[in-house]
């Protein structure tokens, strides 16, 4: 009786190992992110998380105008815009989260948003698993790249948040998978257009990933140059067409965003390069890395794995080039991307930990993947070394995944120095419920004192309005009224400590405002909102 045919790689998802890996990653994600689904933006960089959540809420509240996204702050000024309309990278996550409000209610936009990002992270883990497993047949080795990412405090903190970076990175891993699969002995040309389409979507969502799209296409062109018979004329035209459509979509959306930013005087989302000052910025980055970000980027175990992987790749460089040439070229290309990105955005990397997600994490993960593939090529005289290696990989993956729970809890807590020393949103917690109990209408427009971020306080208090980091010792009641009159604001909200600083002007303040609530949060209502105070 003839033996059944071997399944080609693209049918391997039917095998139970793939289902088991996806199930394991899904369970870990559920345990990791389940407790935080309803938690408003927390941890390091609440500001950009709140900006993205504000997009989703205002899609729901404002009629789902995809081409005119808006946030909750609606006055022109630093980090704000006219009417809140702003240019922003392809906001598909926020739009889908906003649409979910039609099915599950407005109050569930946030948990759906977090779930979307967490699900995409699982997809990214799974495709990393497939890259390794389908070339080694080792289940434990396939789990390690995903577990490696789970142990990165930076990645896990944002993978279940509202930022686009982990979402786009996961799509990049999907694109890598299909591109690498084409170069397998039984690969199909159809995988290349799929890879370019997925990478184009990743570039739309996060512009940084456009560099990975160009890298993959550039390497493909190199293969065409050195192997002229690899592609037919029709296939070349297909690839050029897909790439042109992808880059065209990115360019059109970029120009649309530039028009929005100019028309609505929007400054909320950074849309320009900030090149490095070579000596000063590099020195600053190194100092900031060791002082703040070293163990936020990756865990100690991650660094040990990375060093071991890099050494193995160097020792077996010749074998790498002979057996896994496309992957080696991709590693080199992504290393170059990291260098280019640093040159374009160096000063911001010092401040924003999530900037490394789409720039420096791809080469790190690819080096680990290459090392795992090289391990699979080693010959063992006995079976036990292979079993010991498999068990070690499995235990390491389990440890990394388990450690992610504590790491995420730390990132979500108030006790996470040194970054937590600068948290300014603590007084806002429970703000929406506080305003509701105080009888402040949902449609009321707020002026929030004591915060610079354009959307953080407005998301926490669940109202539209303006934030203003005024210098309270010099703020007069007349100036406060003028600021509110300009945008027809009815209520002013501030920390209780800020209200206490206005005590010298108590009589004038009570003449112009009615105290609604004076506790840890102070809420005042304008007595004469119809009056223009110029």
| 187 and 215 co-located in one domain | yes
Give bridge partners of residue 465 from the DSSP assignment.
Answer: 73, 446
Q: What is the pLDDT of residues 46-86, one digit of tens each?
A: 999 999 999 999 999 999 999 999 999 887 666 778 889 99
Do 478 and 503 belong to one domain? yes
My answer on whether 22 and 77 are in the same domain is yes
For residue 304, the number of C-alpha atoms closer than 13 Å in the C-beta half-sphere is 6
State how far the Cα of 203 lies from the Cα of 206, in Å rounded to an integer.
5
Q: How far is CA 487 from CA 59, 83, 262, 441, in A?
A: 21, 10, 20, 17
pTM reported for the whole predicted model: 0.92
93 occurs within a structural domain: yes
Nearest of 214, 212, 176 to residue 192 by alpha carbon: 176
**Residues 468 and 408 occupy one common structural domain:** no
Residue 212: which of 254, 190, 179 has the closest Cα?
A: 179
Flag whether 532 is in a domain. Answer: no
Tally the domains of the chain.
4
Domain-embedded: residue 239: yes
Per-residue pLDDT tens listing for the chain (534 residues):
344 445 455 444 457 899 999 999 999 999 999 999 999 999 989 999 999 999 999 999 999 999 999 999 887 666 778 889 999 999 999 999 999 999 999 999 999 999 999 999 999 999 999 999 999 999 999 999 999 999 999 999 999 999 999 999 999 999 999 999 999 988 899 999 999 999 999 999 999 999 999 999 999 999 999 999 999 999 999 999 999 999 999 999 999 999 999 999 888 876 676 676 665 566 777 777 777 888 999 999 999 999 999 999 999 999 999 999 999 999 999 999 988 888 777 777 778 899 999 999 999 999 999 999 999 998 877 788 888 999 999 999 999 999 999 999 999 999 888 878 888 899 999 999 999 999 999 999 999 998 888 999 999 999 999 999 888 888 999 999 988 988 889 999 999 999 999 988 989 999 999 999 999 999 999 988 766 555
Under a CB-based contact definition with an 8 Å cutoff, are residues 144 and 124 in contact?
no
CB-based burial of residue 30 (10 Å sphere; 0-12 exposed, 13-18 middle, 19+ buried)?
Answer: middle
The answer to whether residue 204 is domain-embedded is yes
Residues 353 and 495 in one domain: no
Q: Is residue 534 part of a domain?
A: no
Q: Kindly state whether residues 308 and 359 are assigned to the same domain.
A: yes
Among 240, 264, 288, give the residue marking a domain's end: 264
In a domain, 321, yes or no: yes
pLDDT computed for residue 10 by the predictor: 47
What phi and psi values does residue 521 have, to the nearest 5 degrees? Answer: -120, 130
The answer as to whether 343 is a domain residue is yes
- Same domain? 150 vs 81: yes
Answer positive or negative: Cα dihedral of 406, 407, 409, 414: positive
Same domain, 153 and 248: no
Tokens of 16: 């139970």
In terms of Cβ atoms closer than 10 Å to its own Cβ (0-12, 13-18, 19+), residue 332 is middle
pLDDT of residue 263: 92
Domain boundary among 209, 242, 264: 264
Q: Could you tell me the residue range of the domain that residue 317 belongs to?
A: 278-378
Residue where one domain finishes, among candidates 388, 415, 442: 415
3-state secondary structure of 10: helix
470 and 445 within one domain: yes
Same domain, 151 and 24: yes
Cβ contacts of 388 within 8 Å, gap of 6 or more: none
Query: Does 356 share its domain with 389?
Result: no
User: Same domain, yes or no, for 176 and 148?
Assistant: no
Q: Could you tell me if residue 138 is inside a domain?
A: yes
């Amino acid at each position: 009786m003839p033996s059944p045919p071997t399944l080609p790689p693209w049918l391997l998802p039917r095998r139970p190992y793939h289902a088991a890996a996806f199930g394991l990653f899904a369970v870990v994600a559920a345990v990791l992110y389940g407790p935080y689904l309803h938690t408003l933006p927390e941890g390091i960089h609440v500001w950009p998380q709140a900006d993205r959540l504000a997009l989703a809420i205002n899609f729901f509240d404002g009629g789902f105008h995809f081409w005119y996204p808006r946030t909750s702050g609606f006055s022109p000024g630093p980090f704000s815009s006219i009417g809140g309309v702003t240019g922003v990278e392809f906001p598909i996550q926020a739009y889908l989260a906003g649409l979910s409000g039609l099915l599950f209610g407005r109050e569930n936009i946030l948990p759906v948003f977090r779930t979307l990002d967490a699900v995409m992270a699982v997809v990214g883990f799974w495709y990393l698993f497939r890259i390794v497993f389908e070339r080694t047949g080792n289940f434990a080795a396939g789990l390690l790249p995903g577990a490696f990412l789970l142990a990165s405090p930076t990645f896990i903190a944002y993978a279940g948040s509202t930022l686009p970076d982990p979402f786009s990175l996961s799509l990049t891993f999907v694109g890598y998978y299909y591109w690498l699969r084409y170069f397998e002995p039984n690969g199909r040309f159809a995988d290349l257009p799929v890879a370019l389409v997925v990478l184009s979507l990743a570039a739309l969502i996060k512009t940084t990933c456009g560099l990975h799209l160009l890298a993959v296409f550039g390497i493909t062109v190199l293969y065409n140059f050195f192997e002229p018979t690899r592609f037919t004329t029709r296939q070349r035209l297909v690839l050029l067409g897909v790439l042109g459509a992808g880059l065209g979509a990115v360019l059109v959306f970029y120009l649309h965003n530039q028009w929005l930013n100019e028309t609505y005087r929007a400054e909320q989302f950074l849309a320009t390069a900030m090149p490095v000052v070579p000596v000063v910025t590099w020195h600053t980055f190194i100092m900031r890395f060791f002082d703040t970000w070293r163990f936020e980027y990756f865990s100690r175990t991650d660094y040990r794995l990375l060093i071991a992987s890099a050494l193995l790749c160097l020792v077996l460089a010749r074998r790498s080039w002979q057996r896994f040439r496309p992957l080696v070229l991709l590693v080199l290309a992504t290393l170059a991307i990291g260098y280019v990105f640093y040159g374009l955005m160096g000063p911001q990397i010092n401040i924003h930990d999530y900037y490394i997600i789409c720039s420096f994490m791809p080469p790190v993960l690819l080096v680990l993947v290459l090392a795992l593939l090289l391990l699979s090529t080693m010959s063992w005289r006995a079976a036990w070394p292979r079993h010991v290696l498999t068990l070690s990989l499995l235990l390491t993956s389990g440890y990394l995944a388990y450690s992610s729970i504590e790491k995420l809890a730390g990132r979500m807590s108030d006790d996470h120095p040194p970054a937590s020393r600068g948290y300014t949103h603590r007084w806002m917690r429970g703000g929406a419920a506080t305003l509701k109990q105080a009888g402040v209408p949902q449609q009321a427009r707020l002026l929030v004192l004591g915060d610079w971020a354009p959307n953080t306080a407005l998301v926490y208090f669940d109202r539209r309005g303006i934030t203003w980091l005024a210098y309270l010792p010099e703020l007069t009641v007349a100036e406060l009224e003028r600021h509110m009159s300009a945008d027809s604001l009815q209520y002013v909200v501030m920390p209780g400590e800020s209200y206490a600083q206005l005590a010298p002007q108590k009589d004038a303040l009570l003449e112009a405002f009615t105290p609604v609530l004076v506790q840890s949060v102070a809420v005042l209502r304008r007595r004469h909102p119809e009056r223009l105070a110029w």
